[in-house]
A and B are shown apart, each in its own frame.
Chain A
């Protein structure tokens, strides 16, 4: 059932955010520490567990993947409500601090991504891209086991 997938996603999110709040309190921080990250790990574990038990149905998968596919539209809506006026009118101190840290961090990404060997990329990663990219059709050459759920 599709709603079970949505409920699974909701449960993982709620538990993760709750644990993130607890972690924040435990560390004495007035913020949620990694709640969304914990929720993501919970969802990954739940998926592995369900597929091992053979109870990862098309409906459950569709319920989660629908929201993964809504990711980009939600991000566009997020962009449309940023306080861009404040960002643009911040003055030199804001521009310099933001640009400086951005350039150095991009440089650090370049360095870190050269550590270790390069990944050739797996079909699972590519499949994830098509789901999150909001494509409803199976990509050519994708493993046949997964795209069956595309149409929910």
Chain B
């Protein structure tokens, strides 16, 4: 850096290491708890180091399933489908509508604009019962459509793509026009490629959003084959008249954490770039 002072660099590293240690402590404890048996987790003081039951717990959680008879593979699969459908669905409709709003002059443009943006922040928990009724009337209970489409009805992605498109230089469209490109050709050949970092960032955000849903899937699924992994954790914590089986809960929590963590870490460069570029 500017001055090469080993002391201040060391201090920086120390602060960072301490920060990382604090931030990751709960996750470390998750792994620890997942590696002990249930009796050990009720004895004070609780362990801070790994136990030897990790694979035993993993075997139990994977083979016997956690909530009733839904195998964990199915739950992970449902979560994955839900996360992917939400991510792709929302990105698709948002790219299209943002494109229309930014690049076309048409009647009711502002009306549509405000209609979409009013939905920006209102979480599904707040309008959950009327939304449930609509989904039920459309016969979408217990389907992946019902799980995902109502959650797609929010404007975060449209908002972000609008910002991205606004920062695309006008020359690109002029050049495309000179080359005789139509609107859809411009959209697919130029606009989408130049927005790919935003799309990647949005994918990460939406994948995590979809994966982490809890209340909505709980309400609209009755079929055991539709249970998602996050739902099952809450169910395990609330087993009536029992103390929670922390070793299984933590093992399941760990399994539920891995896919979104992999997505974030795997895509972190694009994610950061996409997010920060749009905001600048």
Bound together? no
A: residues with CB less than 8 A from B are none
B: residues with CB less than 8 A from A are none
